[in-house]
Structure 1
Amino acid sequence: MRVLIINPNSDQETADVLSKTAQSFLEDRGEFDVVSMRTAPKLVVTYEDQAASAMELIATVRAGRERYDAFILACHADPNLDLVREVAGGKPVFGIAEASMRMAAMLHGGYAVITPSEKIIPKKFALARKYHCEEELRTVVVSGGNEKEHLLDAGRKALQVPGVNAIVLGCANYSGLDSALEQELSVPVFDGLIWALILADGAVHNKEYQRKTLG
């Protein structure tokens, strides 16, 4: 599998986090590239932020349709996800919010999302409605930062809400901390990039299987 991981913001630190997680998870099972949107702000918070890089995003995906087997939109707002799917030429496209929230709800029922800003809370509930997992979303908790201790504090607060059986990391900058947090919190912790890679790998292998069975 060859996958393009799209960082919809312009922050190189975010791109580095994504690259580190993808390399650690995939090892030699697939190839990936990470690309950032130069016309986007450093942090995508508002719908205006999402719109800022739409044309660059379209051009990036169209240019990669022959090279890549799948695309991952690596921002937990899933900005312009439907747009990317429209221009991806039939290649599978996964957003890290949809991947993590749907899988958390499907596998564990009630879940909580940790997010970096109060401004984003309504958007998490809007995404949950869109992805048909709003009923399972018990709470959205704001983290004081991107470090492990900040996320642990937010996770402990989330677990005080009845019915929370899993934690979703609601920001790309939290990627790579799922295992450490899960060990401390004793509940499943979902890293959206990891689950998007799992789903992308499954989709690509399914296409290969179908081609083989057709001879």
Structure 2
Amino acid sequence: MRILLINPNTTQELTDRLEAAARGVMSEGTELVAVTAPTGVPYISTRAEAQIGGVQVLEILAERHQDFDAAIVAAFGDPGLGAARELFDIPVVGLAEAGMLTACMLGGKFSIVTFAQALGPWYHECVAWHGLQGRCAGVYMLNGAFSSINAVQDEKADLLVDLARQAIDAGDTDTVVLAGAPLAGLATRVRDQIPVPIIDCAEAAMKQAEALAALRPRGAEAGSFKRPAGKPSFGLATALAARIGGE
């Protein structure tokens, strides 16, 4: 089984964190290949940046999908996820979707805990896009600057634990989802400090990708994710243009 992990951010250190977390739960015999977006922004935190990251996801998948059994979009807002499922036949798992659905399997409602106020609007929209508003007890965000995106989980670990406890104390929170690629690997470190199940989205996405690859679902030939008819395009990356063209 071969799994492709795509980091739509351009920061290699985030890819390394995501890959390490995924490898920590990976099954024996699975091969994981992690790829960092070659263009875009160091860390996606807005709708516009998510659109840019989504294009990177599609370009990378167009070039490499034929060599893998499943893929992971490794950014919490799942940029490009719907489009990837529309264009490619292999299962594609989103970091946010995998984390939230795994949380739903462990309790009634989940709370999302993340490290920056700027992420709130996009994350709320992500919950709605996945149809999980009724299962989400809230999105809790730290307020304050951090020194670097790669160091944010080390710098803010104690504050994130306190924020998770606040979410639980507010009521209705049965599980906590640590949101954002920079927090990959943190759940294992703080699990014993939080009195409900806490989800590492990179771990959840890895196991969901393995499960879907093992199920070997057929590509959609009907429904809303049926592959669109081919059409010409202009100026796109060669592999993506070919895929959109129907090849």
Give TM-score scaled by structure 2 length: 0.78
Alignment of 1:111-150 (within 5 A): 111-143=110-142, 145-147=152-154, 148-150=157-159
Q: Deviations over 1:71-117 (max 9, x none)?
A: 100100111111222222x1000001011112212431111101222
Q: Give unpaired runs (5+ residues) of structure 2.
A: 145-151, 218-247
C-alpha displacement at 1:54, in angstroms?
Answer: 4.2
Give TM-score scaled by structure 1 length: 0.89
Alignment of 1:188-203 (within 5 A): 188-203=197-212
C-alpha displacement at 1:24, in angstroms?
Answer: 1.8
Deviates more, 1:58-67 or 1:47-56: 47-56
Q: Deviations over 1:174-196 (max 9, x none)?
A: 11121232211121011111111
Alignment-mate amino acid for residue 146 of structure 1: Q
When residues 164 and 55 of structure 1 are mapped into structure 2, their CA distance, relative to the original with a 3 A threshold, is closer
Q: Is the 8 A contact 2:93 2:209 kept in 1?
A: yes
Alignment-mate amino acid for residue 181 of structure 1: V
Deviates more, 1:17-26 or 1:163-172: 17-26
Which stretches of structure 1, 4 residues or more, deviate above 6 A after TM superposition?
Answer: none
Q: Deviations over 1:10-61 (max 9, x none)?
A: 0111011012112222163311111111211011011211222444332210
SS of residue in 2 equivalent to 1:167: strand
How many aligned residue pairs are there?
A: 207
* Alignment partners' CA distance in 2, 1:54 and 1:202: 24
Percent sequence identity over aligned pairs: 26
2:13 corresponds in structure 1 to 13
